Structure 1
Amino acid sequence: MKVIVIGGGAAGFFSAINIAEKNPGYQVTILEKTNKLLSKVKVSGGGRCNVTNERAKPSELVNFYPRGGKKLHQVFKKFTTSDMVNWLKSKGVETKTENDLRMFPITDSSQTIIDCFLSEANRLNVQIIQNQSMTRIEQIAYKWKITTTNSDFEADKVIIATGSSPASLNLLSDLGLELSALEPSLFTFNIKDERLNQLQGISFTNANIKITGSKLEESGPLLITHWGLSGPAILKLSAWGAYHLASVDYQFDILVNYVGNLKSEEIREQLIKYKSLNPKRKLINYPLFELPKRFWENMLIICGIDDNHSCSDLSKKQINKLVEELYQGRYKVTGKSTFKDEFVTAGGIKLAEIDLNTFECKRYPNLYIAGEVLDIDALTGGFNFQACWSAGWIISDNI
């Protein structure tokens, strides 16, 4: 039995390794279009590889997938995050859980995961052929023929795990498979605004962000960067709003509440109370609401409150301006930037084309599809990888 996996990424490698392990007599080959293997694994988690998440219940996991969602419930029942942790442990890779439930190898190095996969592929005699970009795929009788830039291959079963490669998706579209439009997901917001100047690196534990003219709203940690705003709150918005934000060409306004758990009147009341109790204090020296000192100083200056102002000098207009800036500061987003080096794309082959019990294509027996080539994408936290691991395991079980 000849099995060809097209794509040397997370889904491709995990499928190939488990197929070879469960079926020792099969000839398993990975075709990778570049000379780099597992490149996304390499950069994940800032080079530490956020391999999965501690949340193991399918009902919890599905909430982190803007595309895929509840359809993945049955998938995670068959192979969930705890199964992946146990699989890694069986291969000698120990993992750890961080406060936000993200999981990493205890080495804090993505190379640990890469070395594990390469070692297993070598042990199981999985053939890896690089620089093989697929240019054609066709079914001939009961076989599959794959044409690449360098050669022709024949297989009994084929797994497509090419990521969101437009070229591969076009080939699958030529087979008649329906796909959702590709749009970027998980990106940061580009903002040029004097209120953020010289504040790079400042973070907020729990901010609230709204996209005006839509129902999109998220809360969570927020980070000021050289190019604008990032952090989990922004990344969640970019994922859930991927198609909406693309439709407005990434030009939109946001409202930022830097003290996400407080309403405007609560902020105003606390400022007035502080003014009353501390009339001689200079507000610029005493950051309120647990805000970073440098941000607080800059925001007061923006509101016309400098180091010469005592609390008793605060006017109603200045207090109102400060409340507005802290509770719903309006910022114009003028573009997007990739989050670190992690590329995630919304869209791909529609899940209606796939039997999620096997990940086999409904129209073409013995053709399997897994990973980001499918219309599945998730928030940060190891969820995108887990979709790959679960699909790879199910494919290997079925094959």
Structure 2
Amino acid sequence: MFHAVTTPLRQHGHNRTSIPPHRDAFFDNAKYLAIVLVAVGHAWEPLKADSRVLEGAYTFVYAFHMPAFIIISGYFSRNFDLRPERVRRLVTGVLVPYLLFETAYSLFERLAGDDPAQPLSLLDPWYLTWFLIALFMWRLTTPVWRQIRRPLPVALGIAMLASVTPEIGDDLDLQRVLQFLPYFVLGLCLRPEHFRLVRRRSVRLLAVPVSAAAFAVAWWSVPHMNTGWFYHRDSAQELGAPWWCGPVMVLALFGCSVLLAACFLSWVPGRSLWFTALGAGTLYGYLLHGFLTKAGDYYGWYDAAWLHGPLGALTVTLLAAAAVTLLCGPPVQRVLRCAVEPRMTWAFRRDAGQRARERELAGT
């Protein structure tokens, strides 16, 4: 999802920022706004227990922000195949950042978190890095999903089975990989006309009462529902529920999350705005903001009493949005591109077709 290149959808209005012609402002806007919601949601975690309204907002956001992220990831993976150049891009753009940042976060937990027992394990993703290894596995299976006649029901069946299988364990966060799989497969099944459909004026207007009702349900559910269901990282048994609740919740949350993701996308601007270019740097914001969030926990940034009131929640929200905005910007991209988007041409063999084309060009 982070490296979106597509044929532009219909644009409205004049471009206010300069973006490459092969990028679509709508999807860059959607990625930026989604990463802001991710960062804000993480910043709310230490405060949500003090306010039912804030915890309701947290539940509401968690119902759709990662599903929307993953649906867009699937949409931009539709053409993935096992051609050498795409496999290289998958390795350098997803797998290598996972290896680097999983190591970095584990070391950060050891040092800043004062937890010398934190293992350096590449099989147990810590905090944010689960999404990268999940995206790696989802994209590798894309050719399989393209061959299946009814991919979405199959993916939902796999997610339902995972939700009643606590034996899966924590290796590579497979529970999340499997339970979030239907959203990725849904993205694979979508076409540009589907996104045009949700951006109709009638859908935007309908999204207002739907979102308001969803927020009211989220507020009501605070004392009645375990928010662990929204993380998709545990089976029903691990959440203390009967086994049959797993498949039921997978289907219920899928319907709810897709509906709210559609509401979110319906309000995403389609024209180029001041933050549109930042959509190209969402991987940087995603991977880096976790250090700030965790540092706030480790160093007592949330200890001030005033932060646990309405003004404090608003301040934290604005700071989180501003921080992730800066982390998506060009200066951060220039400094950390070697870690987040390494080229690594030295690590790959040049395929025979490329060598033949270069010899042909040299002979002309």
- Tell me, yes or no, whether TM beats 0.5: no
The structure with the greater share of residues assigned to strand is 1
TM-score, normalised relative to structure 1: 0.21
TM-score, normalised relative to structure 2: 0.22
The structure having more radius of gyration, on CA atoms, is: 1
